[in-house]
């Protein structure tokens, strides 16, 4: 039997190590909430199609994350997706006529909202709506358009190939 | 007719066992407030089942993490998405591998020790001697060991996950050349605090299961050398099966 002092010390070490691991997991590998209620303002945008945007997705400007998507609802009168975003109050100088686009990060990455600054003097406030929006790119629609444009081309293939070859030169 | 009776007997045995374990758990829970007045006994058991399992947990954590890193890289690089390895490994370790493997190791390392220790106390009439001295053996022997296991397993699981992530990082970043910055940042973006909570809840449930089975099997062991051996074996088998079954159920509930 070891002395109680050794037992207590190694037990203490073990418990501390356990809680240190928990602390590491909570702080280091989870996404810290950017916005708490007191330190953020919410902005709304309406999209025709949000693709696979999820609650909690990033709202970013010039690649910097400035907020998160707070809620996504369907407006049944206009059949549009209403996206509420919470933006950190540190970023309170976003022009009112900025536009919001749903973009995809990487090939397999999730979707996020990218905001591009406009030129207005006034800034976005709590409860404002972003009017200029760009919907999510739906791959099926894109392919349909591509197929349609290809079938157009093949009907008058001789003409359309010439400019392509010229541009190569 | 005979097989039917056997089946019926087995079913009855099973019901009796479930009922006995539940009653034993309730009996221990009733004693918990009084057991807490003597924390030294519990600390000793946290040392026995937790601190002494630390080395095996850490070694296994590194190797599990490393193998997740290798296999994950093998699959993900086909899609050119090896940076997502951090996300996959973090989810796998936090939600499944961490709690489950820790619980299985705990059953093998600490559960058997508990069962054989209490079983031997039973076989050498130490428990009866306590009763003679008006010391409740449930209060003095079973509850501190149960609480010690209950406290230790979640802590061990957290250490296992932390070390496991280090193992993943060791293989993926140091050896296979996944970019460290995107490895961590993608992980950070995808994992939320709820995922950590899932892992903690799971390991608490497994801690309760494993220590309950170990203490119960030891306490009710047949007081012979063979009986103690059998109790130890049953502890590992029942704990492992229960942990894997409960894990499935908990995952099904948590994914809803």
Confidence check: pLDDT of B156 > 90: yes
Residue A35: per-residue pLDDT: 42
Residue A22 contacts B where some CB pair is shorter than 8 Å: yes
Residue A64 contacts B where some CB pair is shorter than 8 Å: no
- Whether residue B51 and residue A14 make contact (CB cut-off 8 A), yes or no, is yes
Specify if A156 maps to a domain: no
Instruction: Give the three-class secondary structure for A23.
Output: helix
Residue B153: per-residue pLDDT: 94
Residue A119: per-residue pLDDT: 86
The answer to whether the CB of B140 falls within 8 A of the CB of B175 is no
> Based on the domain organization, do A62 and A131 belong to the same domain?
yes
The answer to whether the CB of A57 falls within 8 A of the CB of A110 is yes
Q: Which residues of B touch A56 (CB under 8 A)?
A: 192
DSSP states along chain B: -HHHHHHHHHHHHHHHHHHHHHHHHHHHHHHHHHHTT-HHHHHHHHHHHTGGGHHHHHHHHHHHHHHHHHHHHHHHGGGT-GGGHHHHHHHIIIIIIHHHHHHHHHIIIIIHHHHHHHHHHHHTTHHHHHHHTT--HIIIIIHHHHHHHHHHHHHHHHHHHHHHHHHHHIIIIIIS---HHHHHHHHHHH--HHHHHHHHHHHHHHHHHHHHHHHHHHHT--SSHHHHHHHHHHHHHHHHHHHHHHHHHHHHHHT-
Residue of A1 and B229 predicted with greater confidence: B229
- Residue B91 C-alpha, separation from nearest chain A C-alpha, in angstroms: 10
* Domain carrying residue A117: 37-142
- Whether residue B46 and residue A26 make contact (CB cut-off 8 A), yes or no, is no
Percentage of chain B with pLDDT > 90? 58
- Whether residue B191 and residue A22 make contact (CB cut-off 8 A), yes or no, is no
Residue B236 contacts A where some CB pair is shorter than 8 Å: no
Q: What is the mean pLDDT of residues B232-255?
A: 93
> Based on the domain organization, do A70 and A138 belong to the same domain?
yes
Residue of B190 and B145 predicted with greater confidence: B145
Residue B214: per-residue pLDDT: 94
Residue of B168 and A92 predicted with greater confidence: B168
> Based on the domain organization, do A114 and A47 belong to the same domain?
yes
Percentage of chain B with pLDDT > 70? 100
Specify if A168 maps to a domain: no
* Summary mean pLDDT of chain B: 90
Residue B54 contacts A where some CB pair is shorter than 8 Å: yes
Residue A16 contacts B where some CB pair is shorter than 8 Å: no
Q: What is the mean pLDDT of residues B46-53?
A: 90
> Based on the domain organization, do A16 and A80 belong to the same domain?
no
> Based on the domain organization, do A110 and A60 belong to the same domain?
yes
Instruction: Give the three-class secondary structure for A82.
Output: strand
Specify if A110 maps to a domain: yes
Tokens at A116, concatenated? 């591009």
DSSP A39: G
Residue B58: per-residue pLDDT: 93
- Whether residue B50 and residue A14 make contact (CB cut-off 8 A), yes or no, is yes
> Based on the domain organization, do A44 and A23 belong to the same domain?
no
Residue A1: per-residue pLDDT: 53
Q: Which of A25, A58, A107, A110 should be substituted to probe chain B, the one whose Cβ sees the most B Cβ atoms within 10 Å?
A: A25
Instruction: Give the three-class secondary structure for A28.
Output: helix
How many domains are contained in chain A?
2
Residue A108: per-residue pLDDT: 60
pTM score above 0.90:
no
- Whether residue B188 and residue A26 make contact (CB cut-off 8 A), yes or no, is no
Q: Which residues of A touch B94 (CB under 8 A)?
A: 25
Instruction: Give the three-class secondary structure for A44.
Output: strand
E-assigned strand segments in A48-130: 58-61, 64-75, 80-88, 99-104, 111-116, 129-130
| Ranges of each domain in chain B | 1-32, 42-254
Q: What is the pLDDT along chain A (169 residues), one digit of tens a residue?
A: 567 788 888 888 899 999 999 888 888 777 665 444 457 888 999 988 888 788 878 888 888 888 888 889 998 998 989 999 888 888 888 888 888 988 887 666 678 889 998 888 888 888 888 888 888 777 778 888 889 888 887 765 555 455 544 444 4
Q: Which residues of B touch A26 (CB under 8 A)?
A: 193, 196
pLDDT in tens, B241-251: 999 999 999 99
Tokens at A98, concatenated? 């900025």
For B47, the closest of A11, A24, A26 (CB atoms) is: A11
Pick the range with the lowest mean pLDDT from A144-158, B190-204, B218-232.
Answer: A144-158
Residue B71: per-residue pLDDT: 92
Specify if A154 maps to a domain: no
A57: closest chain B residue by CA? B189
A2: closest chain B residue by CA? B44
| Whole-number Å distance between alpha carbons of B212 and B153 | 12
> Based on the domain organization, do A84 and A101 belong to the same domain?
yes
What element of type H or E holds A41? strand A40-47
Tokens at A118, concatenated? 């406009």
Cβ-count burial B176-212 (b if 16+ within 10 Å, e if not):
bebeeebbbebbbbbbeeebbebbbebbbbbbbbbbb
B58: left (phi over 0), alpha (psi -120 to 50) or beta: alpha
For B158, the closest of A21, A31, A58 (CB atoms) is: A21
Specify if A162 maps to a domain: no
B187: closest chain A residue by CA? A29
- Whether residue A25 and residue B196 make contact (CB cut-off 8 A), yes or no, is yes
Residue with tokens 């090896």: B82
pLDDT in tens, B99-153: 999 999 999 999 999 999 999 999 998 988 988 998 888 888 899 999 999 999 9
> Based on the domain organization, do A69 and A107 belong to the same domain?
yes
Q: What is the mean pLDDT of residues B38-49?
A: 88
């Amino acid at each position: 039997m070891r002395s109680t002092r050794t037992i207590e010390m190694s037990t203490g070490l073990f418990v501390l190590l356990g809680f240190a691991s928990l602390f590491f997991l909570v702080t280091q590998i989870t996404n810290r909430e950017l916005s708490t209620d007191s330190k953020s303002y919410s902005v709304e945008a309406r999209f025709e199609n949000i693709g696979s945007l999820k609650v909690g997705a990033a709202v970013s400007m010039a690649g910097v994350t400035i907020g998160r998507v707070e809620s996504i609802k369907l407006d049944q009168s206009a059949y549009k997706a209403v996206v509420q975003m919470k933006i950190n109050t540190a970023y309170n100088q976003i022009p009112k006529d900025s536009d919001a686009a749903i973009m995809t990060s990487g090939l397999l990455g999730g979707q996020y909202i990218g905001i591009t600054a406009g030129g207005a003097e006034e800034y976005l406030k709590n409860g404002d709506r972003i009017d200029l929006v760009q919907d999510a790119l739906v791959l099926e629609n894109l392919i349909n358009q591509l197929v349609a444009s290809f079938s157009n081309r093949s009907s008058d293939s001789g003409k359309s190939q010439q400019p392509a070859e010229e541009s190569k030169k | 007719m005979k097989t039917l009776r056997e089946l019926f007997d087995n079913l009855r045995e099973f019901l009796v066992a479930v009922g006995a374990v539940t009653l034993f758990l309730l009996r221990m829970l009733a004693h918990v407030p009084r057991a807490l007045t003597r924390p030294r006994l519990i600390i000793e058991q946290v040392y026995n089942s937790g601190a002494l399992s630390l080395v095996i947990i850490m070694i296994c954590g590194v190797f599990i993490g490393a193998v997740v890193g290798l296999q994950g890289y093998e699959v993900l690089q086909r899609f050119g998405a090896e940076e997502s390895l951090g996300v996959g490994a973090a989810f796998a370790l936090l939600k499944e591998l961490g709690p489950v493997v820790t619980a299985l190791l705990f059953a093998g390392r600490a559960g058997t020790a508990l069962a054989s220790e209490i079983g031997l106390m039973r076989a050498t009439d130490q428990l009866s001697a306590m009763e003679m001295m008006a010391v409740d053996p449930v209060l003095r022997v079973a509850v501190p060991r149960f609480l010690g296991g209950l406290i230790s397993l979640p802590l061990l699981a957290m250490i296992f996950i932390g070390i496991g992530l280090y193992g993943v990082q060791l293989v993926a970043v140091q050896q296979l050349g996944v970019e460290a910055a995107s490895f961590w940042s993608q992980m950070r973006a995808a994992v939320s605090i709820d995922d950590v909570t899932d892992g903690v809840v799971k390991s608490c449930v497994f801690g309760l299961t494993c220590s309950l089975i170990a203490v119960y099997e030891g306490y009710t062991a047949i007081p012979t050398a063979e009986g103690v051996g059998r109790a130890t074996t049953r502890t590992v088998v029942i704990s492992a099966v229960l942990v894997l079954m409960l894990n499935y159920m908990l995952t099904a509930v948590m994914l809803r």
